[in-house]
Structure 1
Amino acid sequence: MPPVLIIEDDRLVRKLLKKLLQPQGFEVVEATTGAEGLTLVSSVRPALILCDWSLPGIDGLSVCRTIKANPDWSDVYFILVAAYSSPEHHVKALDSGADDFLCKRIKIEELSARLRAGLRVYRAFQEQRRLAQELKLQQEQLETEMAEASEYVRSLLPAPMNDRIVARSQFLPSRQLGGDCFDYHWLDSEFFAMYLLDVSGHGLGAALVSVTIQNVLRAQILPGTNFYQPGLVLTALNEAFSSETDWLSEAPSDRYFTIWYGVYNYSKQLLMYASAGHPPAIVVSGHSPNHQIDQLRTPGTPIGMFADSKYKTQFFKVEQESTLYLFSDGIYEVQQSDGTIWNLDQFVDLIDRHHHSEQLDNLETIVRAVKDLKCDRDFDDDCSLLQIKLR
């Protein structure tokens, strides 16, 4: 059994208590003063303490307060023992943090029962502490895995582009890691593809699905699909997602994702696009103050929600000085400091205000402005924002 510490200045009382406890299997450690008892606590690590109320120097109440104030000792079951018992003694003992109060005239059977009860309480506290420590370690491990997964997702995202088309991006994963992913690349010398997707849910599962879809689109491994036609790409993705093909065999049956997918014909200045339940792309054209803002999206449910969904390609003529913004809903569905929820129209206004600023790359300014609206700096969902200067 765990040791019992007896703090008692009366040698006869110590001897009597020791004689009573040892036959029951308790290991007994003795201290004659409060100071000595406090010294022994850290080295002995007792499960129970029987402490005399009236000790010379540091009395029993002070010893109790000191032990209970220390987080490393607070789970020790502390019993104050006094020569006399009264309601006032009970109140003072409990207010000082004692777990129990006994009179020295207590019967042996009752003392044994109280010690056994105290030992049960101590063991329960120890088990609770063990479980809390185990939970803490698991949480730390999960946070480490989330951080590693976040860095992996970030490593797969495209680098800034300074070509005929200029592209920049901002990716801020949430603490739980969501399912945002995006890419842009040339299909050939004339056609430029771009997309942003958002898988439902959070955690490693959502991130794994988003990365898998990104790899499928990069490698163009949807059989018989014309990747120059956004509507056909989304239809093929939906069919594959609904039929649980090999590359999606690990995805939960209730998983779905939104996506905006576009292909830009550079020479003809024609943008073809389709969307599946995703926020619209924003195109800002022309010079301020006579610039124009267009929201581009097509009707359609998220991929994987309905097996028979079909998606159509829409067309948009790109004017000179046109910039396209793609984003996930995590960047505008944020709670402001006053408790109200921001919305898409307000985010579009923010893009409008910052688009014609003198800064070459204004994405950081936009993200910082969104952060300033929040009560804290952490996003509840992944936050992705792309800026693609088409002309």
Structure 2
Amino acid sequence: MVEGIGSTSVSVPQVSGRVLVVDDSRAQRRILQASLARWGYQVTEAGSGEEALDLCRAAAFDIVLSDWMMPGMSGLEFCHAFRALPRDSYGYFILLTSKSEKDEVAQGLGVGADDFLSKPVDPDELRARIQAGERILGMQRELAQKNRLLSTTLTELQGIYDSLDRDLIEARKLQQSLVRDRHRDLGTAAISLLLRPSGHVGGDLVGYFQLNPRRLAFFAVDVSGHGVASAMLAARLAGMLSSAAPDGNIALALDGGGAVDTWPPEMVAARLNRMLLDVVQVDQYLTCIYADADVVSGKVALVQAGHPHPILLGADGSVARVGQGGMPVGLIPGAQYERVELRLRPGDRLLLMSDGLTECTGPDGAEMGEEGLADLVRRNAAVPGDAFLDALMWEIERFTGSGEFTDDMSAVLYEYRGGPS
């Protein structure tokens, strides 16, 4: 039993909290110190607000018990100064006062007090208020620990993200290298390529390769989805549509005499379909256009497998969509694909493009659409060669209002000039 503060005997576990008792009455400080020490706290005394403030600058106390009315610096002023001190952890502040008016309590809360104790102090109430403060301090420490853990985790994640970002930048360079020659002049014809992923890497692929001295194959592919998985499948397709060796290029074959032969466009699509379903076995599909062009005669045979309709820009300025649609590749086993045959006239141009061009949206949310793209093609019909694709992209960037795209952009422009080989 502690004399002078009450007769209640309290048995509590030992704790190690640091408590600062501030009161100009030495007797009151000793009464509070005796109870707190008995409960296991490390107690420091101060006889004034100024002395207490100096102690708080030198050490971090968990709980402060301060009298309100003191000569010199009042408890209210001390509380205000206490809150202004730099601290790594929170300090719980209890004002000891005989004041009970609402405006005075509000004043104490306004300068940073957490709780109030009426004088003379009841030991049971004191212990209850101290325990409430400990609970708050415990939650604060737990929160601080979790914040430190979160900060450490975020730092680690940032490191992983930076490493991944560097890898993706290199992957983008590698993917762009798959399209080595963006423009090629064949004399009687020319071909230009556009490939612009919406992110670091994308699932679009464009390209061309020579079938024989007078025949050129060109293609546009759009793998479903975005990101690394789509880019990896696009990279694998690039290998299947670039090698001059019959066993490496899915469009080439060997005839009975061992000579190199070519598969017609509809069979190339069928072989790609079978390869995706039976060999690769991924949850992805693709749309594509594959064309086989005679650069001398102007004949073009192509297959459209779910890709947007190619646009035929005539030498006379006419614009028409060609193709029959067709099924995407990699969805249905045994899917059949139909060939479309064209005969280009000198000056005609054939444009293959991904749906990133037709489905891009303006600031109002409206899509470009096939008609909108056809209008852009008409407006830029006089632009020669590979500059036509640059002009087209400039128009699309102006349409979106930001130049940022939610889907990959890719296109192939085949121009037939005619004349002798």
- With the length of structure 2 as denominator, give the TM-score of the two structures: 0.71
Matched, 1:149 2:171: yes
Contact 2:19 2:41 in 1 (8 A): no
Number of residues of Structure 1 aligned to a counterpart in Structure 2: 356
Structure 1 residues 369, 120: CA separation in 2 closer, same or farther (over 3 Å shift)? same
Matched, 1:191 2:219: no
**Which amino acid in 1 is paired with 2:159?**
L
Matched, 1:256 2:285: yes
Match of 2:326 in 1: 300
Structure 1 residues 309, 49: CA separation in 2 closer, same or farther (over 3 Å shift)? farther
1:222 to 239, 250, 253: 250
Cα deviation 1:222-276 (Å, max 9, x = unaligned): 3985635111100111111111x2xx2xx52x21000011010122210010011
Matched, 1:337 2:366: no
Distance 1:6 1:375 in 2: 62
Structure 1 residues 103, 140: CA separation in 2 closer, same or farther (over 3 Å shift)? farther
**Which amino acid in 2 is paired with 1:265?**
D
2:155 to 130, 133, 136: 133
Contact 1:9 1:33 in 2 (8 A): no
Distance 1:319 1:89 in 2: 94
Deviation at 1:198, TM superposition (A): 0.6
Cα deviation 1:282-310 (Å, max 9, x = unaligned): 12121xxx422232223321110101101
2:180 to 158, 161, 179: 158
Match of 2:233 in 1: 209
**Which amino acid in 1 is paired with 2:222?**
D
Structure 1 residues 141, 292: CA separation in 2 closer, same or farther (over 3 Å shift)? same
Match of 2:48 in 1: none
Aligned-residue RMSD, C-alpha: 4.0
Cα deviation 1:179-202 (Å, max 9, x = unaligned): 001111221111001001010111
Deviates more, 1:121-130 or 1:207-216: 121-130
Contact 1:34 1:58 in 2 (8 A): no
Q: Which runs of 5+ in 2 are unaligned?
A: 1-15, 43-50, 67-74, 254-260
Match of 1:237, SS state, is helix
Cα deviation 1:107-136 (Å, max 9, x = unaligned): 243333332222222223333333333443
Structure 1 residues 270, 101: CA separation in 2 closer, same or farther (over 3 Å shift)? same
Contact 1:281 1:326 in 2 (8 A): yes
- With the length of structure 1 as denominator, give the TM-score of the two structures: 0.76
Distance 1:257 1:91 in 2: 68
> Alignment identity in percent?
18
Contact 2:64 2:91 in 1 (8 A): yes
Structure 1 residues 144, 360: CA separation in 2 closer, same or farther (over 3 Å shift)? closer
Matched, 1:272 2:290: no
1:234 to 269, 278, 288: 269
Contact 1:184 1:192 in 2 (8 A): yes
Match of 2:241, SS state, is helix
Match of 2:343 in 1: 317
Contact 2:270 2:337 in 1 (8 A): yes
Contact 1:281 1:325 in 2 (8 A): yes
Distance 1:47 1:234 in 2: 76
Contact 2:308 2:325 in 1 (8 A): no
Deviation at 1:35, TM superposition (A): 12
**Which amino acid in 2 is paired with 1:231?**
E
Match of 1:102 in 2: 115
Q: Which runs of 5+ in 1 are unaligned?
A: 26-30, 68-72
Return the index of the structure with the highest Cα Rg. Answer: 2
Structure 1 residues 266, 91: CA separation in 2 closer, same or farther (over 3 Å shift)? farther
Structure 1 residues 341, 80: CA separation in 2 closer, same or farther (over 3 Å shift)? farther
Contact 1:284 1:293 in 2 (8 A): yes
**Which amino acid in 1 is paired with 2:300?**
L
Match of 1:369, SS state, is helix
Matched, 1:285 2:314: yes
Structure 1 residues 101, 224: CA separation in 2 closer, same or farther (over 3 Å shift)? same
Match of 1:28 in 2: none
Distance 1:36 1:180 in 2: 65
Contact 1:260 1:278 in 2 (8 A): yes
Matched, 1:326 2:361: no
Contact 1:177 1:381 in 2 (8 A): no
Distance 2:61 2:334 in 1: 66
Match of 1:355 in 2: 381
Contact 2:208 2:242 in 1 (8 A): no
Distance 2:337 2:141 in 1: 68
Match of 2:262, SS state, is coil
Contact 1:180 1:382 in 2 (8 A): yes
Deviation at 1:161, TM superposition (A): 1.2
Distance 2:373 2:203 in 1: 21
